[in-house]
Amino acid sequence: MRTLTLRGGARVAVNATEWHDAFGVVTHGRVQLELRDGEPGPVLGRAASFWLRGTGVRALRNPGRRPARLRIITPGSHARPASPQDQLPDTGETHEHPV
């Protein structure tokens, strides 16, 4: 499980290879899903959850000014101690280490 914190206005690309089976939960703030064609998708609030498999989501974005926080769960993620920095580009968001 990873915790991802997005500053206001920050966007992070979804790595389809690493996250194809990921399940996300918004734990603080709001997160907007950006769809494959670049169109804005739904804005999800606190306690909303979503699967990335088969959705065509290409990025996660914080539409607000305050930080948003998500928990990202991927199959086998408990077996890999890799840091989120190894898998996400530096686009202005902050990352917390896995819990």
Range of the domain at 25: 2-77
SS3 state of residue 19: helix
The residue among 65, 80, 77, 62 whose CA lies nearest residue 26 is 62
Is residue 23 one of the residues assigned to a domain?
yes
CATH number of the domain that 10 lies in? 2.60.120.10
Is residue 56 one of the residues assigned to a domain?
yes
Please, are residues 53 and 26 in contact by the beta-carbon 8 Å criterion?
no
66-98, pLDDT tens digit by residue? Answer: 999 999 998 875 544 444 444 444 445 555 533
pTM confidence score: 0.73
| Contacts of 48 by beta carbon, 8 Å cutoff, 6+ apart | 25, 26, 31
Query: What distance in Å separates the CA atoms of residue 6 and residue 81, rounded to the nearest whole number?
Result: 21
Q: How high is the pLDDT of residue 83?
A: 44
Report the run of H or E that residue 63 belongs to, with start and end: none
Is residue 93 one of the residues assigned to a domain?
no
Domain count, the chain: 1
Is residue 68 one of the residues assigned to a domain?
yes
Q: Which of the pair, 11 or 56, is modelled with greater confidence?
A: 11
